[in-house]
Amino acid sequence: MRLLLVVTCLLLAAAAAARAASTQADFDAALAAAAAAEKEAGALKNQWMPTEQALAAAKKAAAAGDFDTAVAQANEAEALAKASIAQAKEQQDAWKAGVIR
């Protein structure tokens, strides 16, 4: 539950961050940051489907020249990937709390 709340905050934050008139360079930077975070989530075997969807949407928007959307989607992907990394790290110990005993 707590995690969902955090994800929601992150998404709102990502939306607010998207300013008008982004450029190819803005997109490249945002995509690189998102891809790096998603790679780290992959190393933890904990990628999320919505992250992949946001990455795909970012690339699609960039290909169509819509860099505002592309940057916003890439930022969202980065936020989601970071939340999945945080989840994986938290669960490295927290899973034990759920064990039937």
Partner 1 sequence: MRRLYSILIAMMLLAPAHPPRAAADDAVNPDADFKAFRDYFTKTFAKVPLDDFVNGPYSMDAELRKQWQAIDDFPPYDFAVERGKEMFATPFKNGKTYGDCFANKGIGIRQNYPYFDDNSGEIITLELALNRCREANGEAPYSYVKDEMASLTAYMAFTSRGKLFDIKIPNDPRARAAYENGKRYFYTRRGQLNFSCASCHVQNPGNHIRTEVLAPALGIVAGMPIYRSEWNGMGTMSRRLVTCNSQTRAVPLTPQDEDYRDVEYYLTFMANGLPVSGPAARP
Q: For residues 6 and 77, what is the distance between their CA atoms, to the nearest angstrom?
A: 14
Q: Which is nearer to partner 1, 36 or 64 (CB)?
A: 36
How far is Cα 59 from Cα 63, in angstroms, rounded to an integer?
6
Task: For residue 32, state whether it binds partner 1 (rule: CB under 8 A).
Answer: no
Task: Tell which positions 55-74 bind partner 1, by CB under 8 A.
Answer: none
- Residue 35: HSE in the Cβ half-sphere, 13 Å Cα cutoff: 10
Provide, rounded to whole angstroms, the least separation between the CB of residue 96 and partner 1: 6
Question: Taking phi first (over 0 means left), then psi (-120 to 50 degrees means alpha), and beta for anything else, what does residue 21 get?
Answer: left
Residue from 20, 21, 25, 45 touching partner 1 (CB under 8 A): that is 45
**Residue numbers at the binding site for partner 1 (CB under 8 A):** 1-4, 6-7, 9-10, 13-14, 17, 33, 45-50, 52, 75, 78-80, 82-84, 86-91, 94-101
